[in-house]
Amino acid sequence: GESVGLHLPTLSVQEGDNSIINCAYSNSASDYFIWYKQESGKGPQFIIDIRSNMDKRQGQRVTVLLNKTVKHLSLQIAATQPGDSAVYFCAGVTSGTYKYIFGTGTRLKVLA
């Protein structure tokens, strides 16, 4: 079946360093991917998305990279700040269903 997984459950990063959160997906038909940030007790907040016809997309302090060959995407956060501490989810979407398949999440801890 479909799955979207994350390599690491927890990532600790020093404040000011760059963070890289990885995500693997299994369904080669997935053609749209989204990264969400979820703070404790809140709903997921949209960060950035990327379509399968792209390899890279940049936002404010964030970059998403997509490698369709190995079915892998990553979220890079530049100059990580304490406010970036949260759980990050990737979601893959298949154009046929448009349902989101969420990964298990990575908790990002920013160390002062």
Partner 1 sequence: GAVVSQHPSWVICKSGTSVKIECRSLDFQATTMFWYRQFPKQSLMLMATSNEGSKATYEQGVEKDKFLINHASLTLSTLTVTSAHPEDSSFYICSARAGSRDQPQHFGDGTRLSIL
Residues binding partner 1 (CB under 8 A): 32, 34, 36, 41-46, 49, 51, 89, 93, 95, 98-100, 102-105
Least distance in angstroms from the C-beta of 82 to partner 1: 21
Least distance in angstroms from the C-beta of 80 to partner 1: 22
Are 52 and 32 in contact by the 8 Å Cβ rule? The answer is yes
Are 87 and 108 in contact by the 8 Å Cβ rule? The answer is yes
Least distance in angstroms from the C-beta of 104 to partner 1: 5
Angstrom distance (rounded) from CA 109 to CA 28:
31
Nearer CB in complex with partner 1: 84/88: 88
Q: Quote the radius of gyration of the chain (alpha carbons, Å).
A: 13
